[in-house]
Amino acid sequence: MLLLRCVAAALMSTEAAGRLGSLGLSVWQMGRNVALGAAEYMTPVLTESAFAEKGVITPDEFVRAGDQLVMRCPTWQWHAGDPSKARPFLPPEKQFLLTRSVPCQARAATLTKGCDDEYEVEGDDGWVATKSSLPAARAEEDVPDMVAAAAETLGRASLGESELAAQMGVAEADDGALVEPPDANIIKTRTYDVSISYDKYYQCARVWLYGYTESRQPLTQEEILEDISADHALKTVTLEAHPHITSGAGLHASIHPCKHASVMKKLFSELASGGREPSAEQYLFLFLKFISCVIPTVEYDYTIAVDGL
């Protein structure tokens, strides 16, 4: 737990995080980060491996780490994205990693804390603990709110739909052999498309989120914030155009990578101090674990067996 507090402190106490924090919601105002785009363009491609010393990775290491992730967790796949947005320093077919329709069954904002106590695991085989610890963390008094929220998003979708349904003229929709649809009061799940791109400026991986409501409507910015842990919601998340997906698809929420390198460096040095030899291939597994502090209820896949890790 000690290290984790370091991580959180690193995220919160830095100048950059402070600056973002003071901007508060304005960070969400359609940030296109034009200046940063130019800065990224000017930054030379990192060629020298320095993941253990600095927590940064080269594009080549990103690709190797991504190959490992795809191999071990096949829900993740490489994608080419919009060819006109392809980065020359990455292979055309391996521009970014994507896992689709990842469920998110609870709101992180309703967890009382980020990811400290809730995740504390007894015994030494910590990682086998099941996700069943998650719903337990949801405070009971929060449930009615979530039902109301779910009903609201449902309402948003069904407003015109029932009207439409009446005009469709399908005689017999089903033969009575359908499972009874779940009660509207039962909270259904949100889903996220989670992607990982390589950030040339910060020389690290970067996570992007695009979410859908229970009734498959795109989540609003405010709704996405509910799935970011309270410690990070307004400090580390920005809304930007995805670097590889056509702009028509709308803006994605992104976990800002300004502190990724220092966090990754700490994780790698922790591994090394435990007597294990860190390798670049492990980067994304460690990275995704760290990201799960920020989006604790988005249940993407990163569990694998890594020898020696």
Partner 1 sequence: MASLKFQPFTAALDVGFLTELGRRKLHEFGLSDAPVEIRGSYARAERHEIPSPFCVGADAFLSGEAGVPPTMCVAPGTLLNVNTLEDFKELDKTRLLDGIAQRIWEDMKSGEALERGELMLRFVLLTFADLKSHKYIYWFAFPALVVPAAQRASPPVALASLLSDTQRLALREGFASLSATRGRAPAFFAVRVDASGTLEVGPLSAFADWAAASHTPAEAWLAFCDPCPLLSNPGWPLRNLLALLTAQQLVPREWPSVRILAYREPHPGAAAPALHADGLGLPPPPRAAAGDSRSVVIEVHGPFDASPRDAPPPKAVGWSLNSSNKAGPRQMDLSAQMDPEALAEASVDLNLRLMRWRLMPQLDNEAVAATSCLLVGAGTLGCAVARCLLGWGVRTITFVDSGVVAYSNPVRQSLFTFEDCIGGDTPKAEAAAAALRRIFPCVHAGARRIGIPMPGHPVSAAEASQVGEDARELERMVEAHDVIFLLTDTRESRWLPTLLAAAHRKLALTVALGFDSLVVMRHGMPAEPAAPPASRLGCYFCNDVVGPANSMLRRTLDQQCTVSRPGLAMVASALAVELMVTLLHHPRRGAADADLVGDDEAASGEEAKSPLGGVPHQIRGSLPLFRTTCMRGSAFDRCTACSATVVDAFREKGVEFLRSAFNSSSYLEDLTGLTEMHRETEAKLEEMAGLASECDGEDDF
Q: How many CB atoms lie within 10 A of CB 205?
A: 26
Asked if 92 touches partner 1 (CB under 8 A), the answer is no
Distance in Å, CB of 60 to partner 1, minimum: 22
Distance in Å, CB of 27 to partner 1, minimum: 15
Beta-ladder partners of 190: 104
Alpha-carbon distance 283 to 279, whole Å? 7
Angular region, 208: left φ>0, alpha ψ -120 to 50, beta rest: beta
Member of 149, 154, 230, 233 binding partner 1 (CB under 8 A): 154
Distance in Å, CB of 137 to partner 1, minimum: 10
**Residues with Cβ < 8 Å from 190, sequence gap 6 or more?**
103, 104, 105, 211, 212, 213, 214, 219, 223, 227
Q: Can you say how many angstroms the Cα of residue 74 is from the centroid of all Cα atoms in its chain? A: 17
CB nearer to partner 1: give 46 or 288. Answer: 288
- Report residue 269 as tokens: 């040095």
Member of 43, 249, 272, 277 binding partner 1 (CB under 8 A): 249
| Residue in this structure with the two tokens 């795809």, named with its chain if needed | 70
**Residues with Cβ < 8 Å from 140, sequence gap 6 or more?**
none
Asked if 296 touches partner 1 (CB under 8 A), the answer is yes
* Catalytic choice (73, 104, 204, 258): 258
Residues 17-36: x where in contact with partner 1 by CB under 8 A, - otherwise, as a string: -------------x-x----
Asked if 210 touches partner 1 (CB under 8 A), the answer is yes
H or E, element range at 299? none
Alpha-carbon distance 253 to 276, whole Å? 34
Residues from 49 through 78 that contact partner 1 (CB under 8 A) = 72-78
Beta strand segments in 13-137, E: 77-79, 96-104
Alpha-carbon distance 83 to 297, whole Å? 32
Member of 48, 140, 141, 174 binding partner 1 (CB under 8 A): 174
Burial of 226 (0-12, 13-18, 19+ CB in 10 A): buried
CB nearer to partner 1: give 60 or 301. Answer: 301
- State yes or no: is 6 an active-site residue: no
Member of 64, 142, 188, 233 binding partner 1 (CB under 8 A): 188
Member of 100, 145, 152, 272 binding partner 1 (CB under 8 A): 100
For 11, the 3-state DSSP assignment is: helix
Asked if 271 touches partner 1 (CB under 8 A), the answer is yes
Part of the chain binding partner 1 (CB under 8 A), chosen from 35-43, 56-64, 83-91, 96-104: 96-104
Check the CA dihedral 97-103-107-108 and report its sign.
Answer: negative
Part of the chain binding partner 1 (CB under 8 A), chosen from 12-20, 40-48, 49-57, 128-136: 128-136
Distance in Å, CB of 59 to partner 1, minimum: 20
Member of 125, 140, 141, 222 binding partner 1 (CB under 8 A): 125
Question: Which active-site residues does the annotation give?
Answer: 258
